[in-house]
Amino acid sequence: MPNETELDRHALDRIASFFKVFAEPTRLSILQLLRRGPASVNDIVASLSTSQANVSKQLKTLHAADLLKREPRGTQVIYSISEPLVFDLCDLVCSKLNRQARAEATVVYEI
């Protein structure tokens, strides 16, 4: 029998779905770019080495996860971060990977 702090299957599925949003490098590149500030689809395409169709697909996924907001401006749509928590998560992961890289480098040079 689960204790009070254990999540049910539905909650775990929702959490897993949220983390899946971060499992695509183009999405991470878009988030990294938008960390500097709002950008249009054209700006994002120009900064990344991928197609407009792929950028639009990834923006749709990030928006559906409530990580981005979009604002129509004339003929363009401007995207920006709506959930700053995304950078806390990325910083945590990067810190872990940096610790791991430092530890591995220490082992490599140990005699």
- Domain-embedded: residue 108: no
- Domain-embedded: residue 51: yes
- Domain-embedded: residue 48: yes
Which CATH number does the domain housing residue 22 bear?
A: 1.10.10.10
- Domain-embedded: residue 67: yes
Q: Residue-wise pLDDT tens for the chain (111 aa)?
A: 556 789 999 999 999 999 999 999 999 999 999 999 999 999 999 999 899 999 999 999 999 999 999 999 999 999 999 999 999 999 999 888 888 888 887 655 554
77: domain range? Answer: 9-83
- Domain-embedded: residue 50: yes
- pLDDT for 106: 65
pTM of the model: 0.84
For 31, other C-beta atoms within 10 Å of its C-beta total 20
- Domain-embedded: residue 64: yes
- Domain-embedded: residue 25: yes
In total, how many domains does the chain have?
A: 1
- pLDDT for 22: 95
What is the 3-class SS of the chain, one letter each residue?
A: CCCCCCCCHHHHHHHHHHHHCCCCHHHHHHHHHHHCCCEEHHHHHHHCCCCHHHHHHHHHHHHHCCCEEEEEECCEEEEEECCCHHHHHHHHHHHHHHHHHHHHHHHHCCC
